[in-house]
Chain A
């Protein structure tokens, strides 16, 4: 009986206003992409990006759990991904060699699960200092842990050492990997959405807003902090194992703090705690450098300027006021009233172009 109830409430939570829109948005997007990929009309550039963008969505949404919901700054998310990637891909390679006949649809999920679990174990260890530290001190410890993990993976022979792990035998193309990527993205998304609205999510946000108040209401801060770190690490690890299958060789040095920062930028730009924001920001920010490829030398420069401009515009009250006026209703009202002074129309559309 109770089980049924929780299922019902979970369903109810899913059908609250904002979530179906996000789910529908992602579903339509993936449907279009899947159609393009399987009908063969997707450009090479697009299909090369797909797995990486999907992994970044998972990374951003899971980091959002730590940064947005728990309110702790983590600068080591890429290292969880690399733990999942190296352990997961190593398992896949071993399985590939030991049981040659093992079907792909068993091997990859197993690798992803294993990678996720290993990453969650590391997340537990990294989360331990989080119980004593906070703010910038925790940020630097996660960064330090990330660098330590990078060094360890680079120096371990089992993961190929400094040359990197050659994942050639288990390499798969986008067409094979896309369904798994879609499932992973949906799983992460649904879990985050449900968690946010659940008892657990409320407890986590209570810890964020006022730890002492939450503690005095009986919320076990230690437990929730560790659980959040582990869940986030699990998904990062699973995404890592998937990511590794799309490359023929992987080096641990790729997953340094720069990559962690890149994921953090996605989370902050998308909006803290917002699943939809993270997804949109991941797509835009990953696609932006690709789209700017023709300006090759200038693309990172443009990227950095866009980044600074967005942060400055978001903080400026005048821009926010302008954006507040820019609702669909207002635009329709302006369009209907063609007699209104031209100036106002110009101002509104100019704001829209920003």
Chain B
């Protein structure tokens, strides 16, 4: 029982990291209708930014987090401005290939600057372990859970209660109509990229704390998993990304703990395939009716 609970909690923690990254994918998809394949590499940049801030610039932990968030946000907005903005009218595949190009670019820049050797990332949150009813929860695990819960709550409020959030929902519903109502689509997309990248930066801090070692290709696997999570929950849907991310993390940890570490990836993707076959637009995705 204790083993079960511990697996559940570590799954929730991993899942909340996935959820943070998946939010970036799903928001960008919902608003700009593009798959931002470079999103995973933003995580890697965030992790390196934290390493530089803590070990080389000797900044205190919280400032380092802010620095990583700032670097990622600026990077996300710059990439959007330079690479994606000129392609607004292009077919989705063109944008997808450009995003892949950006992903390669970021990986190779990191390779040039930091080398291919793995680097240890700093432990920023030093929290005491909690023991509840015989279940020991690491500081990093419950810290991750707590912070992501707050962030998700804040994001939900932002999307639903503020004017900017309303604009974002409007743009994702109908770009043309939103523009006619006086919403600046370009500004909205920029802000979406900024939020998505900032979330990725926070995810990178947690990811670095949980997995310690960072290398230029680190972003790829959590990126793909988070993308899967976003589709799992229904891409374009914000609660869907949260649910999808957390479920994916829990499934992965249970597969690792109870079945086999070797097969865990196959099981995660297998569940995804089954879910999508049963419910083709993901768990919380809108059903698109076909117009004839």
Write out the residue numbers on chain B whose beta carbons fall within 8 Å of the beta carbon of A137: 231, 235, 276, 280-282
- Given the interface pairs A301-B112, A312-B87, A316-B86, the reply to whether A151 lies near B280 with Cβ below 8 Å is no
Quick check: A307 and B282 within 8 Å, CB to CB? Answer: no
Please tell me which one of the listed residues A133, A147, A155, A300 contacts residue B262 in the complex, with CB atoms under 8 A apart. Answer: A155
Q: Select which of A154, A304, A315 is within 8 A of B87 by beta carbon.
A: A315
Q: Which of B37, B108, B235 contacts A304 (CB 8 A)?
A: B108
Instruction: Mark out the residues of chain B between 189 and 231 whose CB falls within 8 Å of any chain A CB in the assembled complex.
Output: 220, 224, 227-228, 231
* A308-B102, A311-B87 given; A268·B93 CB < 8 A: yes
Any chain B CB within 8 A of the CB of A236? no
- B289 within 8 Å of A (CB atoms): no
A264 to B94, CA, bound (A): 11
| Known A307-B97, A312-B98, A315-B94; contact A212-B292, beta-carbon cutoff 8 A | yes
B93 partner residues in chain A, CB cutoff 8 A: 67, 73, 268, 272
Query: Which secondary structure dominates where chain A touches chain B?
Result: helix
CB < 8 Å neighbour of B269 from A144, A272, A314: A144
B158 on the interface (CB 8 Å rule)?
Answer: no
User: How far apart sit A265 and B272, CA to CA, in the bound complex (Å)?
Assistant: 25
Q: Tell me the bound Cα distance from A8 to B54 in angstroms.
A: 73
Asked if B142 is at the interface of the complex by the 8 Å CB criterion, the answer is no
Total count of chain A residues near the partner, CB < 8 A: 43
Tell me whether A145 is interfacial, beta carbon within 8 Å: yes
Q: Write out the residue numbers on chain B whose beta carbons fall within 8 Å of the beta carbon of A264.
A: 97
B135 sits at the interface (CB 8 A): no
Which chain A residue has the least Cβ–Cβ distance from B94? A311
In the complex, A300 Cα to B109 Cα: how many Å?
9
Q: Does B254 contact A (CB under 8 A)?
A: no
Distance in angstroms from B133 CB to nearest chain A CB is 36
The interface residues of chain A lying within 8 Å CB-to-CB of B277 are 128-129, 132-133
Which of the residues B35, B86, B224 comes within 8 Å of A136, measured between beta carbons?
A: B35
Is A192 interfacial (CB 8 A cutoff)?
no
Q: Which of A129, A265, A315 meets B86, CB within 8 Å?
A: A315
Contacts of B104 in A (CB 8 A): 300, 303-304, 307
Structural contact, A269 and B97, CB atoms closer than 8 A: yes
**Nearest CB of A to B88, in Å:** 9
**CA A203 – CA B292 in complex, angstroms?**
19
A140 and B231 form a contact (CB under 8 A): yes
Query: A151's contact among B90, B108, B112, B263, by CB below 8 Å, is which?
Result: B263
| Contact, CB under 8 Å: A136 / B262 | no
- Residues of A close to B86: CB separation below 8 A: 312, 315-316
Query: CB of B273 within 8 A of chain A?
Result: yes
Write the B78-113 contact mask toward A (1 if CB under 8 angstroms, else 0).
Answer: 000001001101100110111011111101110110
Q: Is the CB of A132 within 8 A of B280?
A: yes
Provide the residues of chain A in CB contact with B138, threshold 8 Å: none
A316–B89 CA distance with the chains assembled, in angstroms: 10
- The answer to whether A308 and B266 touch across the interface, beta carbons within 8 angstroms, is no
B253-280 residues with Cβ-Cβ distance < 8 A to A are 262-263, 265-266, 269-270, 272-273, 276-277, 280
Q: Is A304 within 8 A of B105, CB to CB?
A: yes
> Nearest chain-B residue to A210 (Cβ)?
B292
Residue pair B280, A140 in contact (C-beta under 8 Å): no
Contact among B103, B220, B272 for A140, CB-based, below 8 A: B272
Contact A261/B100 with A73-B93, A140-B227, A314-B94 known, Cβ cut-off 8 Å:
yes
- Supposing A140-B231, A316-B86 touch, asked if A311 and B97 sit within 8 A by C-beta, the answer is yes
Asked if B290 is at the interface (CB within 8 A of a chain A CB), the reply is yes
Q: In the complex, A132→B273 CA distance in Å?
A: 11
**Chain B proximity of A323: nearest CB distance (Å):** 16
Chain B residues positioned under 8 Å from A305 (CB to CB)? 101, 105
For residue A297, CB closer than 8 A to chain B, the reply is: yes
Interface contact A147-B94, CB-CB below 8 Å: no
Instruction: Indicate with 1 or 0, residue by residue over B236-253, a CB within 8 angstroms of chain A CB atoms.
Output: 000000000000000000
What is the minimal beta-carbon distance from B76 to any residue of chain A, in angstroms? 16
Determine the distance from Cα of A290 to Cα of B103 in the docked complex, in whole angstroms. 20
Nearest chain A CB to B183 CB, angstrom units:
24
Please pick, from B37, B94, B231, B263, the residue contacting A155 in the complex, using a CB distance under 8 A. B263
- A140 vs B263: C-alpha distance when bound (angstroms): 19
Partner of A265, one of B100, B231, B235, B290: B100
Quick one: CB contact mask for A113-151 with B, threshold 8 Å, 1 for yes?
A: 000000000000000110011001101110111011001
Q: Are B105 and A148 in contact (CB under 8 A)?
A: no
Q: Pick the contact of B280: A133, A272, A304 (CB < 8 A).
A: A133
When the two chains form their complex, are residues B98 and A141 in contact, meaning their CB atoms are under 8 A apart? no
Give the 5 A-B residue pairs with the shortest CB-CB distance, closest first. Answer: A151-B266, A304-B104, A144-B269, A307-B101, A308-B101
6 intermolecular pairs with C-beta atoms under 8 Å apart? A73-B93, A133-B277, A143-B228, A154-B262, A265-B97, A308-B101
Given contacts A136-B29, A144-B270, 15 further A-B contacts (CB under 8 A): A141-B276, A143-B228, A148-B273, A152-B266, A155-B266, A300-B107, A300-B108, A300-B111, A301-B109, A304-B102, A304-B108, A307-B97, A311-B87, A311-B97, A315-B86
